[in-house]
Amino acid sequence: MKAMICEGYGSGDDLVLSDVAKPELKTDADCVVRILASTVNDWDWMLVRGKPRLYRLLFGLLRPRWKILGAEIVGVIESVGASVTEFNHGDVVYGDVSEAGFGGYAEYACLPVASLRRVPDQLDVELAAALPHAAGLAWQSLVDVARLEQGESVLINGVGGGMGVLGAQIAQHHFGCTVTGVDKAFKLEALHWLGRADALDYERVDFTGTGQRYDVIIDAQTTRTPWRLLKALKPGGRYVSVGGAPGRLVALALIGPVIGRLTRRRFHLLALKPNQGLDEVETLVLAKEIEPRIDKRFALSDLPLALQRFGRSEHIGKIVILPK
Ligand SMILES: NC(=O)c1ccc[n+]([C@@H]2O[C@H](COP(=O)([O-])OP(=O)(O)OC[C@H]3O[C@@H](n4cnc5c(N)ncnc54)[C@H](OP(=O)(O)O)[C@@H]3O)[C@@H](O)[C@H]2O)c1
């Protein structure tokens, strides 16, 4: 089969489309899946470059532990292990496979059944590919961690990314919240459903300096200290850091709880549990309450171009990779 092989940390340009052996079932709880689509996520970009360097301690000192990256997939079941009762040959499945050894940037992958869910017939394959990772980030940060309530005010920093596009719609349409989205101007303009008054271009406006305060802040980048963030959080407000530079995340983990106790706010870091919340988000997509946004489609052989687009942060929503 064809696969994009990552032999070492680099820029992504050095990924090579290679012929490798088609994967076989490794355990009774595995499925072999023919990949229909995958996407580009921050995990993939981080593993391709080995940056931030600190993460090499976890994911491989000299090269990523996994040669075939690709953190989420949609595909067709080819074969199942003896103990798999959930799926049969021909079922279309999807999932965030970042804790299952990755493997989306290939024609086939062997994946544990626990990392997969059935794709409903009504759900388009490419939209399905765009859901699992971002849906988990958005649902878990808003619902499981921030415990969002109907009608609250929400700010999403990084609203133009995979998590932000879904999170803003979940808050707006499912929880009836007023949502302020923060990102670059060209991304905000593309998100027509985000009202003009509620879109902040972070190159011109600092959301902690407007005087406006929110019940919930979901932050894809964590570029501010908790002290600074207090200026934008209402009493009782919850801040959830979804991602950011390791130093900022460590600082938040150490001082966030203390500042929170002193100021009646809560500071949280999200630890993603792959595919948790996917069922709920899938229901909202099928009900047309929310809509994933596909940025661009690339062939598997053009993965380096897709990674460059992601790395330059030109994407709005999700970049989809198609093996054919
Ligand atoms: N907590 C966990 O367990 C976990 C697991 C997986 C991933 N993550 C993290 O989840 C985060 C969100 O993922 P995603 O898929 O939505 O990422 P994404 O698609 O890269 O979106 C991030 C968005 O943030 C914008 N941005 C960058 N700098 C900004 C700033 N200073 N202020 C406001 N917006 C800014 C980016 O646009 P511009 O760069 O053009 O501004 C982009 O639109 C990532 O940081 C990722 O590492 C966390």
60-103 tens-digit pLDDT: 999 999 999 999 999 999 999 999 999 999 999 999 999 999 99
Cβ atoms of 139 and 116 within 8 Å: the answer is: no
14 and 96: one domain? yes
Q: Could you tell me the distance, in angstroms and rounded to a whole number, from the CA of residue 81 to the centre of ligand 1?
A: 36
| Model pLDDT, residue 9 | 97
Ligand 1 pocket test, candidate residues 184, 222, 319, most atoms within 8 A of CB? 184
User: What is the rounded average pLDDT of the residues 232-237?
Assistant: 98
140 and 258: one domain? yes
User: What is the rounded average pLDDT of the residues 174-187?
Assistant: 96
Residue 195 has pLDDT above 90, yes or no: no
149 and 72: one domain? no
123 and 138: one domain? no
| Model pLDDT, residue 324 | 81
Answer yes or no: is 282 within a domain: no
Which range marks the domain in which residue 252 is found? 133-269
H/E element, 46: helix 42-49
Return the CATH number at 161. 3.40.50.720
124 and 141: one domain? no
| Model pLDDT, residue 192 | 83
- Percent above pLDDT 70 for the chain: 99
User: What is the rounded average pLDDT of the residues 115-140?
Assistant: 98
User: What is the rounded average pLDDT of the residues 219-235?
Assistant: 97
Answer yes or no: is 283 within a domain: no
27 and 142: one domain? no
Tell me which residues have their CB closer than 6 angstroms to ligand 1: 41-43, 134, 137, 157-158, 160-164, 182-184, 187, 202, 220-221, 223, 242-243, 270-272, 313
Residue 197 has pLDDT above 70, yes or no: no
Ligand 1 pocket test, candidate residues 49, 69, 99, 137, most atoms within 8 A of CB? 137
Residue 272 has pLDDT above 90, yes or no: yes
Answer yes or no: is 181 within a domain: yes
In ligand 1, the atom with minimum distance to the C-alpha of 244 is 45
Answer yes or no: is 274 within a domain: no
213 and 260: one domain? yes
**CA pair distance 175, 112, nearest whole angstrom:** 34
| Model pLDDT, residue 45 | 97
83 and 149: one domain? no
Angle, helix 132-139 to helix 162-169, in steps of 10 degrees:
50
Residue 194 has pLDDT above 90, yes or no: no
62 and 171: one domain? no
Ligand 1 pocket test, candidate residues 42, 133, 144, most atoms within 8 A of CB? 42
187 and 238: one domain? yes
168 closest CA partner among 284, 70, 298, 276: 284
| Cα separations in angstroms, 28 against 80, 86, 96, 114 | 8, 13, 20, 12
Of all protein residues, whose CA lies closest to atom 46 belonging to ligand 1? Answer: 243
137 and 260: one domain? yes
**CA pair distance 47, 321, nearest whole angstrom:** 17
Answer yes or no: is 222 within a domain: yes
